[in-house]
């Protein structure tokens, strides 16, 4: 099957639109850079090396330390896992350090600024993004990337795919721990549809303009924002 036909087939899966018979699909733009085999190899190599570095030199001592503090702070598991939407809209278990008290709303309700479900330690973990560090395990496994569109809860994917144009295009890529949208201020709770539209626009721009240099730039800006603190990190 030709690359253009494969791309059209994937688009049909996301949108539900069936390609009419005997119609030639003419692509006006080449495949997204990450769809090229060599680029995917380069990105995967970067993901493996970066995640191994974090797991060996950071998470190896950070995990036991935070595990003790989380257990002392509130009842429940150290790791919170949740099904999120991944590449090609396939769900996967996304890992985080637990930052909330155990509750019935965690799998469908976003955290808000004054959310009483968040523990005292959890507020620190979320404001510093330390709660996201277990996702480097996801990166090493292969269902996430260091950089890419943030993975959304399954409920939100189903909700926004019907109201935001091209929303499902963001699933052409593996989701990331950080991304172009996040470093440009589009992170955290989305109160209005237009906020999610802006996030999707940034995600698609990233897919169309991906490069190793861009990934490194996003990682460095993420580290800078974490050190300074982010207004929407809660």
Q: What is the pLDDT along the chain (234 residues), one digit of tens a residue?
A: 445 444 544 544 444 444 434 434 344 345 689 989 999 999 999 999 999 999 999 999 999 999 999 999 999 999 999 999 999 999 999 999 999 998 877 766 777 767 889 999 999 999 999 999 999 999 999 999 999 999 999 998 999 999 999 999 999 999 999 999 999 998 876 667 888 899 999 999 999 999 999 999 999 999 999 888 765 555
**Where would I find the beta strands (DSSP E) of 57-131?**
79-85, 91-97
The two structure tokens encoding residue 168: 């499902």
Report how far Cα 20 is from the mean position of its chain's Cα atoms: 34
Query: What are the Cα distances from residue 28, in Å, to 11, 32, 42, 234?
Result: 15, 12, 25, 41
In angstroms, rounded to a whole number, what is the distance separating the alpha carbons of residues 97 and 185?
Answer: 23
Q: Within 10 Å of residue 188's Cβ, how many Cβ atoms? A: 18
- CA-nearest of 152, 135, 157, 133 to 144 is 135
- CA-nearest of 199, 228, 138, 223 to 174 is 138
Is the separation of the CB atoms in 170 and 149 below 8 Å? yes
Question: What pLDDT does residue 109 have?
Answer: 72
Burial class (CB in 10 A: 0-12, 13-18, 19+), 29: exposed
Instruction: Name, in order, each residue with C-beta under 8 angstroms of 211's C-beta and a sequence gap of 6 or more.
Output: 33
């Amino acid at each position: 099957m030709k690359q253009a036909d494969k791309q059209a087939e994937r688009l049909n899966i996301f949108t539900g639109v069936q390609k009419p018979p005997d119609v030639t699909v003419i692509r006006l733009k080449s495949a997204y850079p990450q769809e090229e085999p060599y680029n995917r190899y380069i990105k995967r190599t970067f993901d493996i090396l970066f995640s191994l570095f974090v797991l060996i030199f950071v998470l190896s001592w950070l995990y036991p330390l935070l595990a003790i503090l989380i257990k002392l702070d509130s009842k429940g598991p150290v790791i919170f896992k949740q099904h999120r939407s991944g590449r090609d809209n396939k769900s996967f278990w996304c890992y985080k350090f637990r930052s909330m008290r155990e509750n019935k709303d965690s799998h469908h309700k976003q955290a808000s600024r004054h959310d009483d479900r968040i523990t005292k330690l959890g507020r620190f973990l979320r404001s510093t993004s330390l709660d996201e560090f277990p996702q480097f395990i996801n990166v090493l496994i292969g269902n996430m990337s260091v950089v890419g569109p943030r993975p959304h809860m399954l409920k939100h994917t189903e909700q926004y795919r019907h109201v935001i144009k091209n929303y499902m295009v963001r699933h052409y890529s593996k989701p990331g721990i950080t991304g172009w949208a996040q470093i440009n201020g589009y992170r955290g709770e989305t109160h209005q549809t237009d906020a999610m539209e802006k996030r999707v626009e940034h995600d698609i721009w990233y897919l169309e303009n991906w490069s190793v240099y861009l990934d490194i730039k996003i990682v460095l800006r993420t580290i800078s924002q974490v050190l300074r603190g982010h207004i929407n990190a809660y």
